[in-house]
């Protein structure tokens, strides 16, 4: 009986060293992982558990401790003074981060039952803490350096990250992957045994993202009701394959009403934004492509509802939260076969998968899906129903089952 009571109300240390869950979504390093951490923490807390999310102090106006909701706090810790450092340099501040965290814990007298780290940098901090606290350590990498390098779509990730991911995966208690593909990659690149990995698909806020009137949404955004609107939402990153989208759109020059709206990134989003703007000019798409910049998440449903479809032409995705969000709004998705897309998308039901020759293949998938939307083949209620099982509370429930399994195992061992 005592064993069960001990694990009943958990106190969890969630580590997000390099990226703050209050950061600006859609910018360089702030995307799906920040959403994941915030949503999971809120859902765990709504079940009565306590979650402290630890990140490094980065904005002078943030208080050291921010209460996000009943039972969820965001704690900013000292770990280097540079407000926007290169990620790799944060390795030099891991010990400072862990010491600040331990000081905070001692001062507040909290005992954490479990560590859940996100991304390799937090994973390394998690390894230090798992030793100090003798607590179970669950990790989620979100992206793997070895996979990014294999894709070759962006600059090579350093060996230090590869070695660290292998070390974290080999020394923590459990690795969470969002897809079977993610689990397979952990085995193939880092030799992680299948029994050490649990696959838990990502989630969507079904209350925030829901279908609404398309014409009204277009009025809000100043989009013509006659236009065919293809939407992209996400960070501006070479892995997202926006160059493939530009090429595909250049094949669709017989569709004068086609518009592409790109949400994400900032005016000064660096080389990738410049490259994309160069492609727009090269393909003569200036009148078709609109860069809307990053939008706070509450402002996204109107974009999903105004669009005829969401496109996700990525080379790789951890899962692809934006696809879930579009589908929850009743908007079909055209995507390359990455992340959770093969599980999410059913041909003709809620969108289309693109494989092989992405340029021409993507162009014809866009054309056929746009025609399907016009013909009423994707009723929003049907599209939405395809993701009704993906609420964040299901993700939190699945994580809790794993947390409890680890804790019960530890207690049983100690007896």
- Enclosing H/E stretch for 321: helix 321-328
CB-nearer residue toward ligand UDP: 34 or 164: 34
Which residue, 250 or 277, has its beta carbon nearer to ligand UDP? 277
Measured from the CB atom, the residue of 279 and 321 that comes closer to ligand UDP is: 321
Three-class DSSP labels, 349-375: CCEEEECCCHHHHHHHHHHHHHHHHHC
Residue of minimal CB distance from ligand UDP? 31
Distances (CA, A) of 38 to 33, 69, 75: 9, 10, 13
Find the shortest distance in angstroms from Cβ 300 to ligand UDP: 5
CB of 73 to ligand UDP, least distance (A): 22
Least distance between ligand UDP and beta carbon 26 (Å): 3
Those residues whose C-beta lies under 8 Å from the C-beta of residue 85, and which sit 6 or more positions away, are: none
Locate 132 and state its tokens.
């100090």
Residue 157 and residue 88: Cα distance in Å, rounded?
A: 10
The smaller minimum CB distance to ligand UDP, of residues 185 and 325, is found at: 325
Could you tell me the smallest distance in angstroms from the CB atom of residue 178 to ligand UDP? 9
Nearer to ligand UDP, 164 or 269 (CB): 269
C-alpha 5/C-alpha 62 separation (Å) is 36
Shortest Å, Cβ 112 to ligand UDP: 26
What's the rounded Cα separation, in Å, for the pair 54 and 337? 34
Helices (H), 172-239: 180-190, 214-221
- DSSP letter string over 146-161? HHHHHHTSSSPPPHHH
Q: Report the alpha-carbon distance of residue 155 to residue 262 in Å, rounded.
A: 23
Minimum Å gap between C-beta 23 and ligand UDP is 10
Q: Compute how many other C-beta atoms are within 10 angstroms of the C-beta atom of residue 24.
A: 13
Is residue 56 helix, strand or coil? Answer: strand
The nearest distance, CB 79 to ligand UDP, in angstroms, is: 22
The two structure tokens encoding residue 64: 């050291």
Q: Which residues lie near ligand UDP (CB under 6 A)?
A: 25-26, 31-33, 35, 233-235, 263-264, 294-295, 297, 300, 318-322, 325
Residues near 174 by Cβ (< 8 Å), separated by ≥ 6?
Answer: 136, 137, 138, 139, 196, 197, 198, 402, 406
Q: Least distance in Å: CB of 295 to ligand UDP? A: 4
Cβ atoms of 51 and 14 closer than 8 Å? yes
Nearer to ligand UDP, 119 or 190 (CB): 119
Decide whether 35 or 341 has the Cβ nearer to ligand UDP.
35
Nearer to ligand UDP, 100 or 179 (CB): 179
**By C-beta, is 314 or 369 nearer to ligand UDP?**
314
Q: Closest distance between ligand UDP and the C-beta of residue 223, in Å?
A: 17
What values do phi and psi take at 223, rounded to 5? -100, 140
């Amino acid at each position: 009986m005592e064993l069960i009571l001990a694990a009943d109300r958990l106190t969890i240390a969630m580590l997000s060293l390099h990226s703050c869950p209050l950061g600006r979504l859609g910018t360089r390093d702030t995307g799906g992982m920040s959403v994941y951490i915030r949503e999971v923490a809120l859902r765990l807390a709504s079940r009565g558990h306590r979650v402290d999310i630890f990140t490094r102090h980065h904005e002078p106006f943030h208080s050291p401790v921010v209460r996000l909701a009943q039972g969820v706090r965001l704690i900013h810790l000292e770990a280097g003074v540079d407000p926007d450092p290169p990620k790799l340099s944060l390795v030099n501040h891991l010990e400072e981060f862990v010491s600040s965290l331990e000081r905070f814990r001692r001062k507040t007298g909290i005992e954490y039952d479990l560590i859940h780290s996100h991304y390799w940098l937090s994973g390394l901090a998690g390894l230090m803490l798992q030793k100090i606290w003798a607590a179970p350590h669950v990790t989620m990498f979100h992206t793997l350096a070895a996979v990014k390098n294999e894709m070759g779509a962006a600059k090579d990730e350093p060996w230090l990250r590869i070695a660290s991911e292998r070390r974290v995966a080999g020394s923590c208690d459990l690795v969470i992957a969002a897809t079977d593909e993610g689990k397979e990659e952990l085995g193939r690149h880092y030799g992680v045994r299948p029994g050490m990995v649990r696959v838990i698909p990502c989630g969507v806020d079904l209350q925030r993202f829901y279908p609404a009137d398309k014409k009204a949404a277009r009025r809000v955004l100043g989009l013509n009701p006659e236009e065919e609107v293809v939407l992209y939402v996400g960070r501006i990153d070479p892995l997202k394959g926006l160059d493939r989208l530009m090429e595909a759109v250049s094949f669709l020059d017989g569709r004068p009403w086609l518009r592409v709206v790109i949400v994400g990134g900032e005016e000064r989003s660096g080389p990738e934004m410049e490259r994309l703007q160069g492609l727009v000019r090269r393909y003569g798409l200036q009148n078709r492509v609109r860069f809307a910049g990053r939008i706070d998440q509450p402002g996204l449903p109107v974009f999903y509802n105004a669009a005829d479809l969401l496109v996700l032409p990525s080379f790789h995705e951890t899962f692809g939260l934006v696809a879930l969000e579009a589908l929850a709004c009743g908007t079909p998705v055209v995507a390359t076969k990455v992340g959770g897309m093969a599980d999410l998308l059913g041909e003709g039901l809620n969108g289309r998968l693109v494989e092989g020759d992405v340029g021409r293949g993507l162009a014809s998938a866009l054309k056929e899906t746009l025609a399907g939307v016009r013909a009423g083949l994707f009723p929003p209620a049907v599209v939405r129903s395809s993701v009704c099982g993906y609420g964040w509370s299901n993700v939190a429930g699945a994580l809790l089952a794993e947390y409890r399994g680890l804790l019960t195992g530890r207690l049983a061992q100690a007896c």
